[in-house]
A and B are shown apart, each in its own frame.
Chain A
Amino acid sequence: MKASAFDYARVESLEEVFALFAEYGDEARIIAGGQTLVPAMAMRVAAPALLIDISRLEALQGIARNGDRLRIGAFTRYVELQHSPLVAEAAPLLHRAIPLIAHEAIRSRGTFGGSLANADPASEMPACALALEAVMVIANAEGERRVAAADFFQGLYQTALEPGDVLVAVEIPVAQDGMQGVIEELVRRQGDYAMVGLAATGKAANGMLSGPRFVFFGVGDRPVLATKAAEALADGPISPEHIAEAQAALAQDFTPLGDIHCSPATKAHLARVLLGRVVSRLLEHR
């Protein structure tokens, strides 16, 4: 036994979750796929008194398109996202991001909502959510509310989720015609968290990019939208000079936080490299 002792409840309704939160307060923790939480508990970094297993909560499942919105249940596992034709068509960025997450045997368990709620700044899903302008649907005993990705990620493992809240679903605007999604990351070993990564959306036509959104991950305490870099690419057909200007503009967008593997200067360099690659890929529609 590695984890400290805890109680366990598998719920079948949101009301049950709210009742358990009312009883246990912040001593209760939701377990989705558990691919981060179970190792954290085994290392005793996390020690909740109660685990609430939401795997059989139907309200958190399913992928559906409602008009111009794609709604993805928070408990959707990566393997389901990867094989959903709806996701591939309506959110190509997400479809392309899934193979970068860990390994097949982890993608079979891990969930979209679990990654978002965990808000690891080096993971792919929060960056994709911000690039795609996703909206989080959050429920608690009082009712439901919606929080934009830009407001949801608030710091290192910090989100807009309050004690008693459940992330129910994520709504993503359906990609309009020609809207591309591209993701690149640099890792020490395949499947590891990124040293630096970049999730991007944009529409390419006649050598120009319209409405690009560049979201870097692994550079700070949350995913970072690089607006200055995008502005540098706004005028006219994109030339190598434009790309160089955008790469230089990244310095105004953020100063990376270093970690044990990478200094801030190394991360800044890698971010510039990734921006060049991603802009080329967006222009080439691949």
Chain B
Amino acid sequence: MAHALSMIVNGREVNAHVEARTLLVDFLRDHLGLTGTHVGCDTSQCGACVVQINGLSVKACTVLAMQADGADVTTIEGLAEGETLHPMQQAFQDHHGLQCGFCTPGMVMSALDIVRRHPDPSEAQIRDGLKGNFCRCTGYGSIVEAVQAGAKAMR
């Protein structure tokens, strides 16, 4: 049975009908074409699917689309202003915070959550905040530097 669903995604109102078993990540990718949010492990381990619901980071593979009914959702596509990257995205580029790039959308979304909680984060706070995000290229050193630089640019 299809359920009516309504939410704000990256500032735009979205109305749809979905099966109850539709995961938020699948709704974003398959229904809305927002493929910047990645599916890595699909069991809330890897963090490639992190998006924001009402300003808090969540793993979109572990939330049903219906659980986000009425919510304000932000994905990686919602960060840049036209051709101008968000300061955190720019920092990842400048500091080589990505290698293959698969984990990057989730890393950037988690980085924004770290800055929300700690506007001037220490290295320990950054590493703690990235516990739930895996980079299988193991480029963590550069990622931590990028988050530090991005946080500075956002202050």
Contacts and interface: CB of A to CB of B under 8 A. Distances in A.
Interface in B53-83: 53, 56-59, 61-64, 66-67, 69
B131 A8 contact: no
B123 interface: no
Given A5-B21, A8-B66, A102 B58 contact: no
Contact of A108 (B26, B56, B128): B56
Interface stretch (A37-45, A221-229, A236-244): A37-45
Contact of B129 (A38, A102, A104): A104
Given A34-B67, A104-B117, A191-B131, 16 more contacts: A3-B21, A31-B67, A35-B62, A38-B23, A42-B23, A42-B43, A53-B66, A53-B67, A103-B132, A104-B57, A104-B131, A104-B132, A106-B132, A108-B56, A109-B59, A191-B132
A10 B131 CA distance: 32
12 contacts: A3-B21, A5-B19, A31-B67, A34-B62, A42-B42, A51-B20, A103-B47, A104-B131, A105-B57, A105-B58, A108-B56, A108-B57
Nearest to A4: B21
A1 interface: yes
A154 interface: no
A203 to B, nearest CB: 30
A79 interface: yes
Nearest to A110: B62
A8 B20 contact: yes
Interface of A: 1-8, 10, 31, 34-35, 38-39, 41-43, 51, 53, 55, 79, 102-106, 108-109, 190-191
B17 to A, nearest CB: 12
Nearest to B20: A8
B35 interface: no
Contacts of A103: 47, 131-132
Contacts of A109: 58-59, 62-63
Interface in B26-62: 26, 42-44, 47, 50, 53, 56-59, 61-62
B62 A38 contact: yes
Contacts of A53: 66-67
Nearest to A3: B21
Contacts of B23: 2, 38, 42
Contacts of B50: 105
Given A2-B23, A103-B131, A7 B44 contact: no
A106 B46 CA distance: 12
In this complex, the member of B21, B53, B61, B132 whose beta carbon has the largest number of chain A beta carbons within 10 angstroms is B21
B123 to A, nearest CB: 15
A106 B128 CA distance: 14
A51 B66 CA distance: 11
Nearest to B114: A104
A80 to B, nearest CB: 11
What 7 A-B pairs come out closest when comparing CB atoms? A103-B132, A8-B20, A108-B56, A105-B57, A3-B21, A39-B43, A190-B131
